[in-house]
Amino acid sequence: MVNHPWVVYTVALLSVRIDKARNAPTRGASAVEWVIITAIIAGVALGLATLIRQLVQDKQAEISDQFGGGGAGGDTGGDGGGGTEP
């Protein structure tokens, strides 16, 4: 999970913003606020993505159960033609 692209991107984004905040003392408070806001938004987005993914997987399992596993339809005779073998 630590090597997930969203986590790497968020860490890089926060690192850049923190570095800017440390190197610009007149704008430090504003930059820190932006870092905090960005972290909150990223956390909420990651949480929502996880929630949506789980809901989709649950619905997929429910649909699969209703269709008996799915994907098993068609000819089960083995030769595919249904006729006599040569």
Amino acid at 23: N
Give every CB contact of residue 11 below 8 A, 6+ residues apart in sequence. none
Per-residue pLDDT reduced to its tens digit, 65-82: 888 765 555 555 555 555
The proportion of the chain whose per-residue pLDDT surpasses 90, expressed as a percent, equals 31
Q: Write the CB contacts of 1 (distance below 8 Å, at least 6 apart in sequence).
A: 7
| pTM for this prediction | 0.45
At a CB cut-off of 8 Å and minimum separation 6, what does 27 contact? 20, 21
**Per residue in 19-35, pLDDT tens?**
877 776 665 567 788 88
